Amino acid sequence: MKLTAATRLYGLFGAPVRHSLSPVLQNGWIQDHGLDAVYLAFDVADDGFETALGGLLSAGLAGANVTLPFKERALAAATSASAEARAAGAANTLVPGPDGLHADNTDGVGFLLDLDQRAAGWRSVADVAVVFGSGGAARGIASALSRQPGLAVRLVARNAATAGQLARDLGLPPEAVFGWDQAAAALAGAGLAVNATSIGLKGDGALTPDFSAMHPAGLVYDTVYTPRQTAFLTAAEAAGRAGLSGLGMLAGQGAVAFERWFGIRPDFATGLARLEAELA
């Protein structure tokens, strides 16, 4: 990658982000399209996000992704926001413009992009989708799913208050919210089940619902991608259900962010292949 005085700067804000695969993904696509740009990771202190963002914007930052723990603060720092960011209550993509900083959330759109790429027939069996969690990732995914015609969304969460608020925000009925111990009832007849929590990340904890009551052709999706085979996916396999890790969601949300910055939709399959090679 050749850097010039005109090279545009993009990056990822988070803490920690030194492990992130986003630079591999975005710089690969930048090279594919011959763009004079570079994408870096910025690991900033908890109390330094606004300062770091403001300083880099002043220096010409052309676009950014934001990950934990700054997604909510990224939305607050923006002067405008997409419907997706407002629904999620958080932003993972920032686009500077003449009218100020625009916030977007590509998690839900990227999740759907991945499903459509790697499980093209999922819509034919999924008239009920179950989302585990009620945090930022769950909000983005549940919001995207709730806008799909003919698809009912159920929430399974440990925190009844946040799950109830999410249901109200999305216009879901109270009976769409299930407690952690009601997972089996929530999964009955479902064509899609999504772990949108961090349980299982790097082998920390295990989420192992009984998927046997799902639709026989149902799909189980874990947004966690390290390790690739989580306890959630192992439980799905034991019940004879197909499963996908969240690596494709990383590629999907990254592809949508890239399009927001450059006006080009990069090749999903190429990006996913790079991520898989990096993890291998």
Tell me the per-residue pLDDT of 134-156, one tens digit each, with 9 for 90 and over: 887 898 899 999 999 999 999 99
Same domain, 114 and 241: yes
Same domain, 230 and 159: yes
Look at residue 190 and tell me if it is in a domain: yes
pLDDT at 135: 83
pLDDT score, position 160: 87
Regarding whether 237 and 136 lie in a shared domain, the answer is yes
71 is catalytic: yes
Residues 92 and 39 in one domain: yes
My answer on whether 40 and 116 are in the same domain is: no
Q: What is the pLDDT at residue 278?
A: 93
Residue 3 covered by a domain: no
Same domain, 47 and 119: no
Query: Which position among 71, 102, 154, 241 bears the catalytic label?
Result: 71
Q: Which domain does 231 fall in, by range?
A: 108-245
Hey, which residues does 40 pair with through a beta bridge?
A: 11
The answer to whether residue 1 sits within a structural domain is no
> SS3 letters for the chain?
CCCCCCCEEEEEEECCCCCCCHHHHHHHHHHHCCCCEEEEEEECCCCCHHHHHHHHHHCCCCEEEECCCCHHHHHHHCCEECHHHHHHCCCCEEEEECCEEEEECCHHHHHHHHHHHHCCCHHHCCCEEEEECCCHHHHHHHHHHHCCCCCEEEEEECCHHHHHHHHHHHCCCHHHEEEHHHHHHHHCCCCEEEECCCCCHHHCCCCCCCHHHCCCCCEEEECCCCCCCCHHHHHHHHCCCEEEECHHHHHHHHHHHHHHHHCCCCCHHHHHHHHHHHHC
Q: Are residues 136 and 239 in the same domain?
A: yes
Same domain, 222 and 123: yes
Q: What is the CATH number of the domain that holds 220?
A: 3.40.50.720
Question: Looking at the structure, do residues 54 and 177 belong to the same domain, yes or no?
Answer: no
pLDDT at 203: 66
Domain shared by 142 and 210, yes or no: yes
**Which CATH number does the domain housing residue 40 bear?**
3.40.50.10860
Query: Tell me, what's the pLDDT at 202?
Result: 65
| Residue ranges, the chain, pLDDT below 50 | none
Question: For position 88, what pLDDT does the model report?
Answer: 84
Number of independent structural domains in the chain: 2
Say if 184 falls within a structural domain.
Answer: yes
Whether residue 13 is found in the same domain as residue 45: yes
Q: Is 186 among the domain residues?
A: yes
48: in domain:
yes
With respect to residue 2, please indicate whether it lies within any of the assigned structural domains.
no
**Are 23 and 116 in a shared domain?**
no
